[in-house]
Amino acid sequence: MKRIDIVAEARALYEDLDLQSVKRWMAGAPGRKAVGYLPVYAPKEIIHATGMLPVGVHGGGDQLEIIRGDAYYQSYICHLPRSVVELGLSGRLDCLSGMLFPSTCDVIRNLSGVWQVLKSGMYVRYLDLPQGQDLDAMVAFWASDLKILHQDLARVAGVEVDAEALRASLALYNAVRETVRALYAARRDTPERVPSEELYLLSRAGEVLPPESFMALAEAYLECVRREDVPARDNSRVVVIGAFCEQPPLGLIKTLERAGCYIVDDDFVLGNRMINHPVSLDGDPWMALSDALVRDAMKSSIFYEADPTGKKRLVKERAAAARADGVIFAAASFCDPALLDRPMLRAGADAAHVPSISFKYSENSGQFQQFREQAGTFSDAIKLWGGR
């Protein structure tokens, strides 16, 4: 498969707001169902273990005209919930048999209640991800919640709860995360060969494709990357931090790279690699999945940071791991997790002498000139005066 075809397929999936690909998958065999989830992290393994397709619902981006969604949200609330409501009220999500709302922030939490009222026939669940410092209590709590979720979803799917099926799903999603990491590693090592636009489209494809199909597509892409030689540009290497929930428009990602910044790490679609290492396949699978999230999740603004120095160290560590020259703090407007974290992260960047800039965007931002100028100036400054 050629790179151009792979990217075209991923782009078509990204633009498929009507979830035609999900409907095609459902039509592939009788009784197939799909369950949606909001950002940032949802246990896709549980959905998959019931035979249903996990479907990431990441809003309408800049492709969706908001007609009804604005009537549900005030101007000082981020854009994502209004586009999700728009998708819901326009019937685009009707093929989903359930929706999961993780505890990303108060807006997504309350959106679960909005959904309970607007879609009273649908299975709707708020996922209270474990927070805190008593790790054993958190593991026990989340494992028990995963079991309840599993029972509920099995009922929706019309199957029995099956620990072996869950183990198989754990193994499969271990492989998915491995694939995602391979994509990220390829971009980190050779950003000239892996434009962030393409990586992002592949990541989004992974949110709607069955895991096996996603891995095949990603492997084919990596094969092209290995095969094709692309000259490196004199770009700065940056990490983009803060865009983990409401996603930036594709044009913004392209703009950053065109302005002279190779994105060598980011928070986009963060849930697809939230767990760092393979989930154990031994013992109780719910406990194993819970343990992995509690003890081995990536650092993120959506989780409590128990280590008092953790926030300060994070930017330095991420920049070092990605061999980045600088950091771009990009947060959706009115995004509490990202914007409340920003002063702490920025202080860490300053203390570690990691240059940074910051801006806000909305998923439907249509003008990129200001971002181009800001990122271009940042890149030039790094080249002139040095980065990390």
Work out the burial of residue 73: count CB atoms within 10 Å of its CB; fewer than 13 is exposed, 13-18 middle, 19 or more buried: buried
Q: What does the H/E/C string look like for 113-128?
A: HHHHHHCCCCEEEEEC
- The residue type of 273 is R
Among positions 334, 361, 371, 378, the unique one binding other proteins when judged by CB under 8 A: 334
- The residue type of 152 is D
- What token pair was written down for 33? 């169902």
**145 near other proteins, rule: CB under 8 A:** yes
Residue 342 C-beta: closest distance to other proteins, Å:
7
Among positions 197, 198, 257, 341, the unique one binding other proteins when judged by CB under 8 A: 341
* Part in contact with other proteins (CB under 8 A); list of ranges 51-59, 74-82, 160-168, 215-223: 74-82
Could you give the angle at which helices 135-157 and 285-296 cross, rounded to 10 degrees?
130
Among positions 344, 352, 374, 376, the unique one binding other proteins when judged by CB under 8 A: 344
Residue 355 C-beta: closest distance to other proteins, Å:
15
First-to-last alpha carbon distance for the chain, in angstroms, is 38
Residue 376 C-beta: closest distance to other proteins, Å:
23
Residue 36 C-beta: closest distance to other proteins, Å:
16
**270 near other proteins, rule: CB under 8 A:** no
Among positions 163, 232, 306, 351, the unique one binding other proteins when judged by CB under 8 A: 306
Nearest-angstrom CA–CA distance, 293 and 303 = 11
Site for other proteins in 76-105 (CB under 8 A): 76-77, 81, 101, 103, 105
**113 near other proteins, rule: CB under 8 A:** yes
Phi, then psi, of 385 in degrees rounded to 5: -115, 0
* Part in contact with other proteins (CB under 8 A); list of ranges 49-57, 67-75, 206-214, 249-257: 67-75
- What token pair was written down for 347? 């202080």
DSSP string, 340-387: HHHHHHHHHHHHTT--EEEEEE-TT----HHHHHHHHHHHHHHHHH--
Residue closer to other proteins (CB basis): 109 or 323: 109
**304 near other proteins, rule: CB under 8 A:** yes
Residue 40 C-beta: closest distance to other proteins, Å:
13
**134 near other proteins, rule: CB under 8 A:** yes
**150 near other proteins, rule: CB under 8 A:** no
Q: Which helix (H) or strand (E) holds 326?
A: strand 326-332
The per-residue b/e assignment along 270-294, b for 16 or more CB within 10 angstroms, e otherwise, is bbbbbbeebbbeeeebbbbbbbbbb
Residue 269 C-beta: closest distance to other proteins, Å:
21
Residue 268 C-beta: closest distance to other proteins, Å:
20
Nearest-angstrom CA–CA distance, 245 and 267 = 9
Residue closer to other proteins (CB basis): 59 or 81: 81
Note the residues at the interface with other proteins (CB under 8 A): 71-74, 76-77, 81, 101, 103, 105-107, 109-114, 116-118, 125-128, 130-134, 137-138, 140-141, 144-145, 148, 301, 304-306, 308, 311-312, 331, 333-337, 339-344, 346-347, 360
